[in-house]
Structure 1
Amino acid sequence: MYVCMYVCTRTSAIFLYPLHPPVASPISASLPDSMGTASSVLTQYDIEGVQQHCHNLFSQHEIVSLYQRFCQLDRNAKGFISADEFLSVPEFAMNPLSQRLLKMVDGLNFKDFVAFLSAFSAKANMEQKIGLIFHVYDSDRNGKISFNDILEVLQDLSGVFMSNEQREKVLVQVLKEAGYTRESYLMLDDFIKVFGNSGLKMEVEIPVD
């Protein structure tokens, strides 16, 4: 299985580089009881349940491959992945948005791990993709995004390659094009309106052959 997450808007790009799991096996694996301690077999019924949980955005073979990767990260077979375990992947640890993403993935069991990744599926619609990015920007989890929320993420992404003045200028222009100002607070629907036509691309590529 090869996993590659790519997020791109007019002003930002996020890369979570390939993870390197074993070669995929037939649809059979160990699945945590109630997504807790690993002890049972991943049956066809289990796979279909996980597939339904992620709205059929991954195939059954992809789900098995994702489970193999999940088990690699869950080193102590706890049934969930901790922030420290995610940080054990060097490419993730070096990502400028790793700390923000960790808040979303810390403590995920397998079902929720797949649901989280489903927003990156090529089958996911634009609203599902942008919804995930909204939660990345919504750092204080109040359901709305301010100018400063977005500016902080842009600062994480651009670092020294853009000045504060350049970042603010770009963001003001993007908001203006959608009919908003720097004083506006964006709810999810507003965020979709602003970034819905921004060329957002987020995909997870999972070869299973």
Structure 2
Amino acid sequence: MGNTSSMLTQYDIEEVQEHCNNAFSQQEIVSLYHRFCQLDRSGGGFISGDEFLSVPEFAVNPLSERLLRMLDGLNFKEFVAFLAAFSSRTKMEQKIEFIFKVYDSDGNGKVTFDDVLNVMRDLTGSFMSEQQRQKVLMHVFEEAGYEKDSSLVLSDFTKILSNSGLKMEVEVPID
């Protein structure tokens, strides 16, 4: 599986399925493998940040810079595991863990008010003023029982988002 020019074996497919907690069917994994090979222009078995930016939907995503930190240098198995967060078969806890990693930009296991504010800046751009963003965020923190100087760990994040009706799904086209 290291070299993208090789084909996936049944064993490879099952191994990837297990690695991503069965978030994708075998047919979806084969389709994802074909897409991975298209993205891996160098043929080295890994996808670089620049190769990810060749996907128009990814390139225009306001969080693409944050996601690139998580994506750069992924092999196929890691690529599928990354995408598993967007599968309808993935449990909400795993989706929340993924989102937590996006917000935890320094990887210290904590999300601060400023971390969330930075993501809000990325998402809202010039559509909201800094004062509006801070006001909205303060309201969210207070509603959840936290203060501005709180540092949220994954369990806090889970508590806040578990009842939010979060939808985070993409469909994998089958070739």
2:42 maps to amino acid: N
Query: C-alpha offsets along residues 56-78 of structure 1, whole Å, 9 cap, x if unaligned?
Result: 11000000000010000001211
TM-score by length of 1: 0.81
Deviates more, 1:88-97 or 1:60-69: 88-97
Look up the SS of the partner of 1:41 in the other structure: coil
Q: How does 1:52-201 map to 2 (within 5 A)?
A: 52-201=18-167
Q: Which has the higher contact order (CA 8 A, sep 6+)?
A: 1
Distance (Å, rounded) in 1 between the aligned partners of 2:128 and 2:141: 18
Counterpart secondary structure, 2:173: coil
Q: Could you tell me which amino acid in structure 2 is paired with residue 66 of structure 1?
A: L
Mapped contact 2:4–2:40 kept (Cα < 8 A): no
RMSD, aligned α-carbons: 1.2
Give the distance between the partners of 1:123 and 1:192, measured in 2 at CA.
18
Amino acid in the other structure paired with 2:26 = Q
Displacement of 1:41: 2.9
Deviations 1:4-27 (A, max 9, x none): xxxxxxxxxxxxxxxxxxxxxxxx
Q: Distance in 2 between matches of 1:148 and 1:47?
A: 41
Q: TM-score, normalised by structure 2?
A: 0.96
TM-superposed deviation, 1:178: 1.4
User: 1:39 Cα deviation (Å)?
Assistant: 4.8
**Number of aligned residues:** 175
2:3 aligns with 37
Sequence identity (%): 68
Asked whether the equivalents of residues 144 and 187 of structure 1 are also in contact (C-alpha less than 8 Å), the reply is yes
Matched with 1:21 is none
Match of 1:6 in 2: none
Q: Distance in 1 between matches of 2:166 and 2:74?
A: 25
Unaligned runs of 5+ in 1: 1-31
Task: Give structure 2 stretches of 5+ with no counterpart.
Answer: none
- Partners of 2:173 and 2:47 lie apart in 1 by 23
What is the rounded CA distance, in whole Å, between the counterparts of 1:39 and 1:58 in structure 2?
22
More helix by share: 2
